Structure 1
Amino acid sequence: MSGEKYIVAATDNPTQISIRNMLNPYGFMFLGNCSDSISLLRLIRSYNPDFVVIDMGLQLRDIKPVIDTIDDEMLCPCILVGQSKDMETEDLQEKSKVVTLCPKPLNKELFIHTVEMSLISFKRISKLDRKLREMTENYETRKAVERAKWILMEREGINESEAYERMRKKSMDTRTPIKALAEAVIFAYELGDKSKG
């Protein structure tokens, strides 16, 4: 692995320089640095790095909301560099999809290995996250289509395959996703029920 872009978040210049001196010879490309959590999120959104290195000199309570945002949006892996592993840090690492911890003082080989493993893990988790979203979307689509089929069967007096074929044809003719069409059928049905009651 090389050519991956990174950002450093650290309160002091020597730490930033030390991290860059370890990563750059291995082909990693430095994009920028910052010393506070607000700037970190802004840099991540601006530069779209492959990973960020966060020195634990920054207070965890200040960077936790940023890490939560990075985690929720799956923006990039975060390597936390710190001297101690307290309960709060362990909890963050356990619950996060993007956080890896590397102890201080930094050992070059261990640090490079941590970065590489973080990148590999992030790719795997991103792929699984995408698959999970797709499966959820497919499930929601199937659920809506099944419900709409039963509504059409009840209203039109047709069988299941005819109901599905009508929806599929209407979807193709109008270039409307079948899920949106099914939701429209359900909405119209529920609206009709409310007006009767």
Structure 2
Amino acid sequence: MNAQKALRIVIVAPDSLSPDPADTAALVEVERSRSLRIGLLQHGYNIVAVLPIDPFLPERLAQIQPDMIIVDAESQARDTLEHVVMATRDARRPIVLFTDDEDTSHVGAAIAAGVTAYVVAGLAPERIKSVLEVALARFRHEEDLRRQLADARNQLDERKVIERAKGLLMKRQGIDEAQAYARLRKTAMDKGLRLAEVAQRIIDVADLLG
């Protein structure tokens, strides 16, 4: 199965595709929405749900666990995005916005908040596949960078813990830095623990004893 066909997509959209026939603006939005969904199906994407913006959105997304969220926004794109970003803050996923809102003054804030791609009107159905593939690639790249940054921070924190534990051993046992490190390392090997875990236990005991 191709990568795009495996994607489980949730669309966050207005409740109805049957607006008042007298509402011209609503009819234009509905036509764009239908065109978007047809384009997704034509390219083999799996639309697992179409959800409205309501208080239950976070729970529904948590249950469905989609691979990507497509926001089919009305003119109030900013309000819609705020709800979706809040709903995915604990489980990040690529978010692609399709909208007719030509006010792009808040695009930067939307991207910073977690929106992967922001597409304003006029997208031909044949371009949907390329837009989603680029959005997914960008999201994965950003997630890799996030993990690398988190790993670097964890390593720095662990080094600080080890340095503090070495200092405590040196002070209380009258040994030099090399000896303190050797004792930490031996204890870690004997107990099957990571060096930072042993160091943290030493710090915890020292804090408890004062």
**Same fold by TM (over 0.5)?**
yes
Higher mean C-alpha deviation, range 110-119 or range 121-130: 110-119
**What code does the residue aligned with 2:145 have?**
L
Higher mean C-alpha deviation, range 157-166 or range 172-181: 172-181
Offset, 1:45: 1.3
**Alignment correspondent of 1:50:** 67
Unaligned ranges ≥5, structure 1: none
Offset, 1:100: 1.3
1:86–1:166 Cα change, 3 Å: same
CA distance in 1, matches of 2:134, 2:79: 26
CA distance in 1, matches of 2:67, 2:105: 27
Higher mean C-alpha deviation, range 5-14 or range 50-59: 50-59
- Structure 2 residue 78 is the aligned partner of structure 1 residue 60: yes
Unaligned ranges ≥5, structure 2: 18-29
Alignment counterpart, residue 105 of structure 2, candidates 87, 90, 93: 87
Offset, 1:54: 0.5
Do the aligned residues in 1 keep the contact of 2:166 with 2:180 (CA within 8 Å)? yes
CA distance in 2, matches of 1:79, 1:19: 12
CA distance in 2, matches of 1:145, 1:69: 38
Q: Secondary structure at the match of 1:73?
A: coil
Provide, for residues 29-62 of structure 1, a one-character-per-residue CA deviation record: whole Å limited to 9, x for no partner: 1111111144443332122212111122265335
In the comparison of the two structures, how many residue pairs are matched? 191
Provide, for residues 118-144 of structure 1, a one-character-per-residue CA deviation record: whole Å limited to 9, x for no partner: 100011011111111111111111110
Higher mean C-alpha deviation, range 140-149 or range 34-43: 34-43
**Alignment correspondent of 1:148:** 165
| RMSD of aligned residue pairs (Cα, Å) | 2.3
Do the aligned residues in 2 keep the contact of 1:149 with 1:160 (CA within 8 Å)? yes
Q: Percent identity?
A: 23
CA distance in 1, matches of 2:72, 2:11: 8
Instruction: Please report the TM-score for the alignment, with normalisation by the length of structure 2.
Output: 0.79
- Structure 2 residue 145 is the aligned partner of structure 1 residue 134: no
Do the aligned residues in 1 keep the contact of 2:36 with 2:125 (CA within 8 Å)? no
Q: Secondary structure at the match of 2:66?
A: coil
List aligned pairs for 1:1-197, cutoff 5 A: 1-3=3-5, 4-11=7-14, 12-13=16-17, 14=30, 16-57=33-74, 60-70=78-88, 72-83=89-100, 84-93=102-111, 95-193=112-210
CA distance in 2, matches of 1:179, 1:30: 45
1:105–1:41 Cα change, 3 Å: farther
Q: Secondary structure at the match of 1:27?
A: coil
CA distance in 1, matches of 2:82, 2:91: 15
Q: Secondary structure at the match of 2:4?
A: coil
Instruction: Please report the TM-score for the alignment, with normalisation by the length of structure 1.
Output: 0.84
Q: Secondary structure at the match of 1:158?
A: coil
Q: Secondary structure at the match of 1:2?
A: helix
Higher-RCO chain (CA-CA 8 Å, sequence separation at least 6): 2
**What code does the residue aligned with 2:179 have?**
E
Q: Secondary structure at the match of 1:151?
A: helix
CA distance in 1, matches of 2:13, 2:149: 34
Offset, 1:16: 5.0
Higher mean C-alpha deviation, range 116-125 or range 160-169: 160-169
